């Protein structure tokens, strides 16, 4: 609608108003489809939702050609000023019909209002806000403050689970420490409460509408995340805490805890909002790198622990990195011939984890330093796969900051 007579500075002001999400008003010359110029009084008002974010703009246009200097275009070129004014009054007959006689008191009031308009006073523009959808009393909006805070709590606990679950499964730790047992039990209870809340939380439908029907909410949750959330909140640690639990059953329940890592899919959906910020992307890449290195360290130790003892001859493999580590720190493996008839001793869990994490870090960032080397076929295959993961991760980092 811009034309050759439209003021360039006014165009820039309009564009700046939209870019800065501001309220403003302008007198601007625009053009109809037949290229006839018209003066408009334009008002721009941002509409905000309950989170005070601008979701759309309300723009109103009032024809004020009657109050402006008659415009000389191609059809009126050569006309006198009086002729152009007569044509302007004729074209704005509807505007004249709206000007009904009013009293003196109203006249003075209207004149002051018109003066405010002509002074481009943005304070007279009303504040518009998007009305929140009506929901039943027991239904929670998925974007309300409480649900947003709750989602951040679940996000932090999910990261905690992503760190502790692989460690407990790989190093076969029984939670005999009462502090850790209580902490993990609290996490399980919070995940259980999250299931209850998800049955009463709205969601966005395929058409972009907010679904608040309780029946549809329950059906949607049962079809999507319910099974995963239910498996993730079962009290596996309490079962493993009992000393009389069979080792096979304990290992089974420990392995089932890995299902909790599927909750990271929710984390990925929430992090999409922050990928436009460079600092957020950098922090995210560092966190993902540390988490992947931690998972690979747990797998690396599990492979070494499984292959360090030759099951056929019941002997220690001297070339295993676990045996070499035990010798270097002065905690060698010893065979208990008089008691359990099994190999005992060896490095502590802290030393084993730190060494495993050191190896995975060096393999992901470089090609390793050789002080810890794979010896068995399983360890070599895993090392090759780990180097490929590290190479792919470096390419992703370069692509993200290209």
Q: Minimal CA–CA distance to 214: which of 199, 229, 228?
A: 199
Q: Residue 169 and residue 237: Cα distance in Å, rounded? A: 11
pLDDT tens for residues 317-359? 888 888 888 888 888 888 776 766 677 778 888 899 999 999 9
pLDDT of residue 245 exceeding 80: no
Q: Where in the chain is the domain with CATH 3.30.450.20?
A: 8-89+110-124
Extract the tokens encoding 90.
């004729």
The residues that bridge with 128 in the sheet, in sequence order, are 47
Which position has the token pair 């809340």?
A: 197
Q: Minimal CA–CA distance to 270: which of 133, 142, 397?
A: 142
Q: Is 124 left (phi over 0), alpha (psi -120 to 50) or beta?
A: alpha
**pLDDT band with cut points at 50, 70 and 90 for residue 255:** low
Mean pLDDT of 275-300: 82
Long-range contacts of 17-24 (CB under 8 A, 24+ apart): 17/44, 18/44, 18/57, 21/46, 21/54, 22/46, 22/122, 23/122, 23/125, 23/127, 24/120, 24/122, 24/125
Rg (CA), the chain: 35
Strand 54-63 with 37-48, pairing: antiparallel
- For residue 128, give every residue at least 6 positions away whose Cβ sits within 8 Å of its Cβ, in sequence order, or none: 45, 46, 47, 48, 58
Alpha helices in 242-344 (DSSP H): 247-256, 264-271, 278-307, 321-328
**pLDDT band with cut points at 50, 70 and 90 for residue 366:** confident
Q: Residue 183 and residue 132: Cα distance in Å, rounded? A: 37
Extract the tokens encoding 144.
């309300």
- Between 270 and 232, where is the model more confident? 232
pLDDT tens for residues 32-73? 878 788 888 888 888 887 777 888 888 888 888 776 655 555
User: Can you give the pLDDT at residue 395?
Assistant: 81
User: Can you give the pLDDT at residue 308?
Assistant: 83
**Helical pair 321-328 and 349-365, crossing angle rounded to 10 deg:** 120
Strand 128-129 with 203-204, pairing: unpaired
Question: Among positive and negative, which fits the CA dihedral 35, 38, 43, 49?
Answer: negative
What torsion, rounded to 10 degrees, do the Cα atoms 85, 86, 92, 95 define? 90
Contact 210, 139 (CB under 8 A): no
Average per-residue pLDDT for the chain = 76
Q: Give the least confident one: 101-115, 137-151, 192-206, 314-328.
A: 101-115
Instruction: Write the CA distances from 349 to 30, 102, 162, 299, 361, integer angstroms.
Output: 76, 91, 19, 14, 18
Strand 24-31 with 37-48, pairing: antiparallel
User: Can you give the pLDDT at residue 181?
Assistant: 78
Q: Residue 132 and residue 141: Cα distance in Å, rounded? A: 9
Domain 8-89+110-124 annotated CATH 3.30.450.20: yes
User: Can you give the pLDDT at residue 133?
Assistant: 66
Contact 64, 27 (CB under 8 A): yes
Extract the tokens encoding 42.
């334009």
Cα-flanking dihedrals φ and ψ of residue 296, to 5°? -65, -35
Coil, helix or strand at residue 12: helix
Predicted TM-score (pTM) of this structure: 0.61
Query: If you count DSSP H runs as helices and E runs as strands, how many of each does the chain have, helices first?
Result: 15, 10
pLDDT of residue 381 exceeding 50: yes
Question: What string of DSSP letters covers 53-122?
Answer: -EEEEEEEEEE-GGGSPPP--GGGTT--HHHHHHHHHHHTHHHHHT-----HHHHHHHHHHHHHHHTT-G
């Amino acid at each position: 609608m811009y034309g050759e007579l439209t003021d360039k500075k006014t165009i820039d002001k309009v564009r700046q108003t939209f870019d800065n999400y501001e309220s403003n008003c302008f007198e601007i010359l625009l053009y109809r489809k037949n290229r006839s110029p018209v003066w408009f009084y334009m008002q721009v008002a941002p509409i905000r939702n309950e989170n005070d974010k601008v979701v759309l703009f309300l723009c109103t246009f009032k024809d004020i050609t009657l109050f402006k200097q008659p415009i000389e275009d191609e059809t009126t070129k050569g006309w006198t000023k009086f002729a152009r004014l007569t044509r302007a009054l004729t074209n704005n007959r509807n505007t004249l019909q709206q000007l009904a006689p009013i009293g003196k008191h109203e006249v003075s009031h209207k004149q002051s209002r018109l003066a405010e308009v002509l002074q481009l006073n943005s304070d007279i523009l009303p504040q518009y806000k998007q009305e929140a959808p009506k929901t039943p009393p027991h239904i929670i909006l998925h974007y309300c403050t409480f649900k947003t805070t709750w989602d951040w709590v679940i996000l932090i606990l999910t990261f905690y689970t992503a760190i502790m679950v692989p460690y407990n499964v790989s190093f076969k730790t029984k939670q005999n420490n009462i502090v850790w047992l209580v902490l993990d039990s609290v996490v399980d209870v919070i995940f259980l409460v999250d299931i209850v809340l998800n049955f009463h939380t709205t969601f966005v439908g395929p058409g972009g509408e907010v679904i608040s029907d309780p029946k549809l909410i329950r059906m949607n949750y049962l079809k999507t995340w319910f099974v995963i959330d239910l498996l993730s909140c079962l009290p596996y640690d309490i079962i493993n805490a009992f000393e009389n639990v069979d080792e096979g059953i304990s290992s089974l329940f420990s392995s089932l805890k890995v299902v909790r890592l599927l909750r990271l899919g929710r984390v990925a959906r929430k992090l999409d909002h922050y990928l436009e910020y460079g600092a957020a992307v950098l922090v995210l890449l560092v966190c993902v790198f540390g988490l992947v290195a931690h998972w690979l360290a747990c797998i690396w130790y599990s492979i070494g622990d499984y292959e360090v003892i030759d099951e056929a001859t019941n002997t220690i493999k001297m070339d295993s990195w676990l045996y070499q580590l035990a010798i270097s720190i002065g905690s060698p493996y010893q065979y208990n011939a008089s008691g359990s008839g099994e190999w005992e001793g060896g490095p502590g869990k802290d030393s084993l984890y730190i060494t495993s994490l050191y190896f995975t870090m060096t393999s992901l960032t470089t090609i390793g330093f050789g002080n810890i080397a794979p010896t068995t076929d399983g360890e070599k295959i895993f090392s090759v796969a780990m180097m490929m993961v590290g190479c792919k991760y470096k390419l992703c980092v370069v692509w993200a900051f290209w």
